Homo-oligomer: A and B are copies of this chain.
Amino acid sequence: MIENVDLSKKLDKEEYEKAMPELQLRMGELQRQARDLNIPVIIVFEGWDASGKGELINRLIHSLDPRGFKVYPVTAPNEEEKMRPFLWRFWIKTPAKGRISIFEKSWYRRMLSENMNIDLKKEDPMELLGDIKQFEKLNYFERDLYNNGNIIIKFFLHISKEEQKKRFDDLEKTPLTSWIISKVDWKVHRHYDKYLGLIDDFLELTDTDHAPWTIVEANNKKYATVKIYRTIISMMEKRIKEFNAEDIKALKANKQNVNISEYDPGKDPILNSIDLNKRLAENDYKQKLKLCQGIIKELQYKTYRKKLPIIVVFEGWDAAGKGGNIKRFTEEMDPRAYEVIPVSAPDGIEKNHHYLWRFWKEFPKKGYTTIFDRSWYGRVLVERVEGLTPPEEWKRAYSEINEMEETITDDGIILIKYWLQIDRDVQLQRFKERETDPAKQWKITEEDWRNRSKWDDYNAAIEEMLYRTDTKYAPWHIIESNDKYYSRIRTMETFIKTVEKAL
């Protein structure tokens, strides 16, 4: 896409000054419209060294209301960022509804800078771009954001070899700026032509309908500025038009064509085969509890030293014993290296982001353990059953969740998912206990009773969830929980087995 671009394009001062005022005004208007329509916008600037990213971003933001955007320069990951899954630092910077995130370099940094700069001798260009699986994951990332309403606008600033040399020379001329250009920069410059081919491959691989690239001829900054403005304006106008379209229903209907495999709810229900009569005597329990807690404490030392990050997900019926399980589970752990994240309905800020955003934020650093008391599976459980999320969206969530889990487990996270299963009678009995025990009354609400009345709907949602999201990299562990003792020990033993295997 880039090799035949005409880099001689330019604008003179007069043309530029004629075009800009209108574009600047329009940009401001569109920002306010997107804000009012709650549309989040992501703008990515990639490009050759010295292609003018900083300057062009500055020219763009001067038409924007600073209350509505933020510029994120992407450099090498810092200590904290290196400790998290690769996409963590980008996920947490995705814009809230109505806001604009501008990335100077981006999640493609690894491919465009890190990998390429290391070794040009490799014959296979794809090797230079890095693991092909990474491309897929970045594509999921962009597609998820797009599906959630984000406009994604990606610019590649293209300059010629001669122009780059000129700019490098200019920067090197004065001590004020000479430190900016490094030996590596010059090395890349010398191999400009080889890189050009690589970048071409790269752009084609990452150019999608939902997040297309715009190549900006940036030898001439005036031309580049106008092209950037026009591109953003036209993409925002298009999306705003969609939002305002009279046939918005048709659009929505269109969206319902979620690509989802067939599933027969009646066939082989998973939970039916679970033997809920499993029990553990109190004496056995007490012994095993001490033993397991001791081992978990030791494992925590080991995973901390080995820098293994762990996520434990507790899902289960109301009153299935999640809280009690977590309490015993963490009783001997060191609070400096584990954290419990209780998940309830999203708050204001969380609602203004992609539904996975609030979980990405909490994903653990290397060596740390994060325990989720409920999780992202709310999307296909409570949100589905209570009608909080339209069917096309929760149906899409199965693959989004699977892809996310694959992404983070590939990044080295150990992910352990529990479903705590109880039957209706046990739930009723526990609800009643809670109502009469003054120490537990606050734990039971109207909502619990309401949820209970929808047992069958929840059961169907759980079955489909277990069927669709039980994967090689993140299998479900169904824990028989009618007996609390049995449940707790089973959870711990499963954890111990999984972590020991990973060590």
A334→B54 contact, CB < 8 A: yes
Nearest residue, chain B, Cβ from A21: B439
Q: Is the CB of B58 within 8 A of A331?
A: yes
Q: Which of B32, B298, B332, B373 contacts A176 (CB 8 A)?
A: B298
Let me know if A390 is at the binding interface, CB within 8 A: no
A356 nearest CB across to chain B (Å):
20
Chain B residue with the shortest CB-CB distance to A327? B62
A46-81 vs B, CB cutoff 8 Å, 1 = contact: the mask equals 000000001101100110011100110100001110
Chain B residue nearest in CB terms to A62: B327
Contact yes or no, B66 A342, CB < 8 A: yes
- Determine the chain B residues whose CB is within 8 A of the CB of A340 once the complex forms: 66
Contacts of A331 in B (CB 8 A): 58, 62
Residues of chain B lying within 8 A (CB to CB) of residue A80: 78-80
Q: A335 and B58 in contact (CB under 8 A), knowing A25-B439, A67-B342, A176-B302? A: yes
The 7 A-B residue pairs with the shortest CB-CB distance, nearest first, are A73-B336, A66-B340, A54-B334, A67-B342, A66-B342, A58-B335, A71-B335
CB contacts under 8 Å to B, within A450-500, are none
Chain B residues whose C-beta falls within 8 Å of the C-beta of A387 in the assembled complex: none
List B contacts of A57 (CB < 8 A).
Answer: 335-336
Please state if B78 and A330 are interface contacts (CB–CB under 8 Å): no
- Considering the complex, which residues of chain A in the window 332-388 have a beta carbon less than 8 Å from any beta carbon of chain B? 332-337, 339-342, 344, 348-349, 373
Report the bound CA distance from A54 to B335 in whole Å. Answer: 6
A263 contacts B by Cβ under 8 Å: no
Residues in B whose Cβ lies below 8 Å from that of A439: 25, 28
The answer to whether the Cβ of A104 comes within 8 Å of any Cβ in the partner chain is yes
Closest residue of chain B to A336 (Cβ to Cβ) is B73
Chain B residues whose CB sits within 8 angstroms of the CB of A344 once the complex forms: 67
Identity of the chain B residue whose Cβ is nearest the Cβ of A74 in the assembled complex: B336
B177 touches A330 (CB 8 A): no
Inter-chain CA distance A183–B422, complex, in Å, is: 52
Residues of B within 8 A of A62 (CB): 327, 330-331
Residues of B within 8 A of A332 (CB): 58
Assess whether A107 is interfacial by the CB under 8 Å rule: no
User: How far does the alpha carbon of A176 sit from the alpha carbon of B486 in the complex, in Å?
Assistant: 29
Q: Does A192 contact B (CB under 8 A)?
A: no
Contact B442 A336 (CB under 8 A): no
Cβ of A430 under 8 Å from chain B: no
- Of listed A32, A57, A301, residue having the most chain B CB within 10 A: A301
A373 nearest CB neighbor, chain B only: B66
CA distance A341 to B70 in the complex (A): 9
The chain B residue sitting closest to A177, CB to CB, is B301
Whether B71 contacts A336 by the Cβ 8 Å rule is: yes
Kindly provide the distance from the CB of A62 to the nearest chain B CB, expressed in whole angstroms: 6
Whether a CB of chain B sits under 8 angstroms from the CB of A305 is: yes
Minimal beta-carbon separation of A380 from chain B (angstroms): 22
Return chain B residues, CB-CB under 8 Å to A61: 335
> Residues of B contacting A334 with CB < 8 Å?
54-55, 58
Interface flags, A296-307, vs B, CB<8A=1, else 0? 001001100100
Q: A25-B439, A66-B341 are in contact. Are A301 and B58 (CB under 8 A)?
A: no
Closest residue of chain B to A176 (Cβ to Cβ) is: B301
A–B complex contacts, Cβ < 8 Å, 22 sampled: A25-B439, A57-B335, A57-B336, A58-B330, A58-B331, A58-B332, A62-B330, A62-B331, A65-B342, A66-B340, A66-B373, A67-B342, A71-B339, A73-B335, A73-B336, A78-B78, A78-B79, A79-B80, A104-B336, A176-B302, A177-B301, A349-B349
